[in-house]
A = this chain, B = another copy of it.
């Protein structure tokens, strides 16, 4: 199968295109965190992006290339950050969004998507049911499918976070992101390797959803089925374009345990006073486990999102006064 892969020039074009529409998120540091890991760590805080995740970058990069008069509807399947980001971006662009969501998704996530004015279409859990529902919708609606990660426009958009980080902190030795479908790591690698060829780009995954780790090691794209990890954003398997870019530009993929993910969330709350979602904590956990960055290095992390229900977090109990 031949697919079109994005290039660094696409990331640069995306940055110019979405710049006026996205938040230039802050880069944060913590002396306490640096002391824990014996490195200088720079958090690019996409948890503070519109919609609470980097996903708004890719969604905006697609929608700004569509003419609302010709393509009034955009369609996707996602119960998480991509669905929410596409819904927000569609509203900003005066388009309608239809998001196919599995029936068993968290009610708070469905409500968040609906609150943007998007149409939520429930389907049975599992990829075949999702794809069938998508096909039915696209047969009757003048819409365009916007895939969550396996799309060159999405990848280029996600790469703009790393582009901003390296523009602000040029001298990074390594840069890391979590890996789910691979939109973020592939865009990050495209941007980082072009801007600073000597940089090491490292992806981090839960041990329980290590499809990219397995794919990277074996050289062929592998999938995981229904992985059990708290990192809900990383349960999908790596896409075709994403794996091609991972193979070309990423230096390593590492894994962390569920306990390490939760402990990383707790440490980020302690040191940065930021509550980040478990998927984001996966890359932080890799730094804490000395799998991402070496002593004394300057390490950049894209903190991918902050969307978590407080009652999902093991150290946040529901007590009220």
**Interface of A with B (CB < 8 Å)?**
23, 25-26, 28, 31, 47-48, 52, 115, 258-259, 262-263, 266, 269-270, 273-276, 306-308, 310, 314-321
Partner of A317, one of B259, B263, B315: B315
22 chain-A/chain-B pairs, Cβ below 8 angstroms: A23-B26, A25-B26, A26-B48, A47-B273, A52-B273, A258-B321, A259-B321, A262-B321, A269-B310, A269-B316, A273-B274, A273-B275, A273-B276, A273-B307, A273-B308, A274-B275, A275-B275, A314-B319, A315-B317, A315-B319, A315-B320, A317-B319
Residues of B within 8 A of A26 (CB): 23, 25-26, 48
This chain's copy number in the assembly: 2
- A190 CB to nearest chain B CB (Å): 26
Docked-complex contact B316 and A316, CB < 8 angstroms: yes
Q: In the complex, which residues of chain B have a beta carbon less than 8 angstroms from the beta carbon of A31?
A: 115
Listed residue (A263, A276, A315, A321) with the most chain B CB atoms within 10 angstroms of its CB:
A321
The contact of A270 among B23, B262, B310, by CB within 8 Å, is: B310
A32 to chain B, nearest CB (A): 8
Known: A115-B31, A314-B321, A315-B317. A275 touches B266 (CB 8 A): no
A262 to B321, CA, bound (A): 8
- From residue A55, how far is it (CB to closest CB) to chain B in Å? 15
Q: Nearest CB to that of A276 among chain B residues?
A: B273
* Residues of chain B within 8 A of A269, CB atoms compared: 275, 310, 316
A263 partner, pick from B48, B307, B320, beta carbons under 8 A: B320
**Nearest CB of chain B from residue A112's CB, rounded to whole Å:** 8
Closest residue to A23 on the B side, CB-wise?
Answer: B26
Across the interface, which residues of B come within 8 angstroms of A259, CB to CB? 321
Separation of A315 and B52 alpha carbons in the complex (Å): 23
Q: How far is the CB of A28 from chain B (nearest CB, A)?
A: 7
Nearest-Cβ distance from residue A124 to partner chain B, whole angstroms: 29
User: Please, how many angstroms separate the alpha-carbon atoms of A219 and B23 in the complex?
Assistant: 44
Closest residue of chain B to A310 (Cβ to Cβ) is B270
Q: Which 6 A-B residue pairings sit nearest by Cβ, starting from the closest? A: A273-B306, A273-B275, A259-B321, A262-B321, A315-B319, A317-B317
Beyond A266-B320, A273-B274, 5 additional contacts (C-beta under 8 Å) are A28-B48, A52-B273, A262-B321, A273-B276, A314-B321
- Nearest chain B residue, comparing its CB with the CB of A31: B115
Residues of B contacting A307 with CB < 8 Å?
273
Separation in Å of the A310 CB from the closest CB of chain B? 5
Give Cα A290 to B316, complex, Å. 27
- In the complex, residue of chain B having the shortest beta-carbon distance to the beta carbon of A321: B259
Question: Contacts of A306 on B, CB cut-off 8 Å?
Answer: 273
Distance in Å: Cβ of A288 to nearest Cβ of chain B: 14
Roughly how many angstroms separate A318 CA and B269 CA in the complex, as a whole number? 12
A259 to B320, CA, bound (A): 9
Determine the chain B residues whose CB is within 8 A of the CB of A319 once the complex forms.
314-315, 317
